[in-house]
Each structure stands twice: as C-alpha cells, then as structure tokens.
Amino acid sequence: MQSMATIRPFRGILYDKEKIGDFSMVTAPPYDVISSSEQEELYELSDFNVIRLILGKELAGDTDEHNKYTRARLAFQDWLQTNVLRQDDSPSIYIYEQEHELKNGARAKRIGFIALVKLEPLETGRIRPHEKTLSRPKQDRFNLLKTARASFCQIFGLYSDPKNEINPILEDESQAEPEIEVVDNDLVTHRLWRIDKPLVSEAIAGIMSDKTLYIADGHHRYETALKFQDEMMKNTTDPNGAELFNYAMMTLVEMNNQELTVLPIHRVLKNVNENDIRRLTENLKLYFDMETIEFDDDTEENQRAVFFDRLKTRGKKAHVFGMYSGNSKYYLLTLKDEQILDKVLKEKHTKKWKKLDVAILHSLIIDYLLHVKGTDSEIQAHIEHIKDEDEAIELVDSKRFQLAFFLNPTKLDQIKDISSQGEVLPQKSTFFYPKLLSGLVMFRLD
C-alpha cells in the first residue's frame, strides 16, 4: 500500500501583539544563518525575541542541568504563562505569504501554508530530502527539541500540484487583513493568516494526500523529529499514531504554479597555497575551456558585472563556473565534455546527479584536481559557503581565503528528479529565497 502525505491543522502558538507591539522586534531569521554578531543584535532587540528560544547563548559554567536548551524551555514556559505567547483555541492551518523585490525591481510573492505533517521514514515515505546533513547540527536541534518539547520554526517543504487546486484556496482565504505582517532586515514582507475552518482544512488535507513532499530547507530538523519520535515511541504505552510527536510543523509551498527563487551558494577556500592554485589552473585546462577576464582598479566594477553576466547566460546551456584567486583576473570555466564525468566521478550516483554543477565543482575541481578531500570536518576546515558574490570576492582580496568558486543556481526540476530517485544533493546545494521567518507560529508537542 502506498503511503500518503498526512496533513493536519494544529493549535499554533503566536505572539500576542498587544504584549510585544512590533513583530519585527521578536522574530528572527532561521537559526543556521544567524552570525554571532546578529545573535547579539537580536538579543538586544527584545527580551522576548525568538532568538532566546532557537539559538540561545552559551554561558560560562553551563552544565547538563543548566544550559541554553534549559533556558529556552524556561523562557518558553514563562512567555506562555505571562501571555506573551498565546495558544490558539482551535486547530488551524496558517497561510504564509512572502513578498520581496527582485533585482529587476519587480515584486515577487510566494504563498504557502503551515500545517503539521505526519513523519515518515526518509527511505520509504513520501517525504524526500534533497541535501546531505551533518551530525553536529542534528544533535544541537535534538537537544533543543527534547528539552523544550516544542518547535519554534517550520521545516520548508515543496510539493507539486499540477491541477493548481491548493493555491486558489489560499488566495481566497487570504483576502482579509493578515493576522501578522512584518518586514524583515532584507525588506521581505511576511504575512500570516489563520484558517480555523474545518471544511477548508479538510479540503487541503484531502488534496495533499497523494502528494510527495520535498524538503527544501530544514533537513536537520526533520531528521531530529524522526529521532525524537523514535525515542518517544519507546516510552509510550499503546501509541495510536495521533500523538503530536508523530508530526513536524512544516511550511508547504507549491513548486510549479508560482515563481520560486533559488539562489546559488558559492564556495571560498582557505589553506590553499600559490603552488596549488598554479597547478590547479593548469590542470583545469584539460577539462574546461577557460576564459580570462582581466581588470584594473578603473575597470573592476564593469568587468565584475561582465563576469557574472556571462556566468549566468552561458550556464543556461552548459556547465559553467566562475573562479577568482586575486591577481586582477576572473576566470570562466566551461566544461568541455560531459563524458568526462563518468570517467572521473567514480561514486555510485546517477547520471543526473553527476550533471549537477555543485557535484561537478566538488567532485571534479575541488576533490579530484585540488585534492581537498577527507571527512566532513576536514573538508569544512578548507571550505566556507557564501551566498553573496561580492563578499566572496572580498574574502579573497583580504587574503583570508585564497580561492572563490561561483555557481549558477540548482534548478528545481533537478532537485525534484534527484530526490525522487532517493538520492541527495551535496551539502549546501541550494538557497531558497526568501528564508522562512522564525517566531511566526510555534508548535507545542505536549
């Protein structure tokens, strides 16, 4: 029997506007994109900012009994008791809309809904991951979930709705004034509506029952939820499947009938010496057509624009990468022949996986030609993931890093195809923009 995606409304926990005033004071980006300086800034914004729940400070003298996880639990309980947070009286599905400006000045909207999704094993269920996860972040999220017994931000999932049945429902139900409207630091407007109509929730759940869900963001939290479910099942007498620990809170967005913005995540490398770079540049010529874009102080701005424009344009028809190692030169690398991939990439992956730009970059260039390989921690000692192109260039110019590689975004159909085949993309293959805002709706597991 084929498994089904089970969607369920829930009694969400929201900030009380009269208590906190401005939602921008208490919401935050996802925990995994917050720097230490941003963490401090969010702490300063409000005593009730969700940062104190999702990414608490580590303090000297922390113990197993007193630490950032126990402080999160105590803060959450206190905010509930003092009505800073209020739990809805009736189960609801929440419409979540995000609006942002594109580089060309146009406005883009993304609409989805927040609900509980019944957990399924990633190996056999209709919930598919698309990226590799690391053990350390999973342990951190597990400690928080186990201690606080609550989820403070959603996992981001995608689904395909060829008949376009869901979005018209969401658009119809979001005609009223939103429950929450907040603009974040990236000037993204986030809006939230509550649907507490059982017939509407049932209609959405019915349409979603045959859908496959693709995890776009939140892989660590999904695997954490599975681990927590397994632990709870061992200590539950006569489980019936309806217990809240069997569910994860997710924002679900249709992936075909609206424009989704997927940004690339670039790589900068450190601990690379000049001889390594010189040897790499020579060896790249065996596999790539190389174009050099030179510049000086007067032409750098224009040549940088040319470099990224060509990277984007040529990437529509070929595997093209940008490279920068300083020395007033940008390089465009265009793969000569895809047949090279089968000869060089010996991993047991499908042809579609091997044709991913991020897989080619890591397997052929970074691993095979540059010899940066080893365990996850060893590789992380060399590589940082950077979303902003200008920041990556600045890191090389500052000599803190020696190499930058630039990619085009991974395509949605690649994510769907590879996930459907049971494979996962290399870590940090995608950056879905905008990110979900933490603190809009929370989910209590008991």
Tell whether the model's pLDDT for residue 38 goes beyond 70. yes
Tell whether the model's pLDDT for residue 298 goes beyond 90. yes
**Per DSSP, what are the bridge partners of residue 94?**
114, 194
In this predicted model, which residue has the larger pLDDT, 412 or 436?
436
Q: How far apart are CA 364 and CA 335, in angstroms?
A: 10
Q: Please give the pLDDT value at position 342.
A: 78
Q: Please give the pLDDT value at position 373.
A: 64
Tell whether the model's pLDDT for residue 198 goes beyond 70. yes
Out of 206-220, 339-353, 402-416, least confident range? 339-353
Q: Looking at residues 132-143, what average pLDDT do you find? A: 80
Q: Looking at residues 428-435, what average pLDDT do you find? A: 88
Instruction: Please write the tens of the pLDDT for every residue from 210-232.
Output: 999 999 988 889 999 999 999 99
Q: Please give the pLDDT value at position 114.
A: 98
Q: Tell me, yes or no, if the pTM score tops 0.95.
A: no
Mean pLDDT, the chain, rounded, equals 91
Q: Please give the pLDDT value at position 66.
A: 94
Tell whether the model's pLDDT for residue 340 goes beyond 80. yes
Q: How far apart are CA 446 and CA 244, in angstroms?
A: 7
Q: Please give the pLDDT value at position 133.
A: 65
What is the DSSP-derived secondary structure letter of residue 171? H
**Cα separation values, 101 from 35, 187, 330, 433, Å:** 24, 8, 29, 11
Tell whether the model's pLDDT for residue 126 goes beyond 90. no
Q: Looking at residues 123-130, what average pLDDT do you find? A: 79
CB neighbours of residue 266 within 10 Å: 24
Cβ-in-10-Å burial (0-12, 13-18, 19+) of 386 comes to buried
Rg of the chain, C-alpha, whole Å = 23
Q: Looking at residues 13-41, what average pLDDT do you find? A: 93
User: Before 162, cis peptide (omega within 30)?
Assistant: no
Q: Please give the pLDDT value at position 1.
A: 39
Nearest Cα neighbor of 107 from 261, 262, 316, 308 is 261
Q: What backbone torsions phi and psi does residue 90 show, to the nearest 5 degrees?
A: -125, 150
Q: Please give the pLDDT value at position 220.
A: 87
Would you list the domain boundaries of the chain? 7-261+433-444, 265-408
Instruction: Please write the tens of the pLDDT for every residue from 230-244.
Output: 999 998 888 888 899
Q: Please give the pLDDT value at position 395.
A: 96
Q: How far apart are CA 139 and CA 352, in angstroms?
A: 31
Token look-up 């059982």 returns 198
Q: Looking at residues 430-443, what average pLDDT do you find? A: 93
Q: Looking at residues 383-395, what average pLDDT do you find? A: 93
The model's confidence at residue 380, banded by pLDDT at 50, 70 and 90, is low
Three-state DSSP class for residue 67: coil
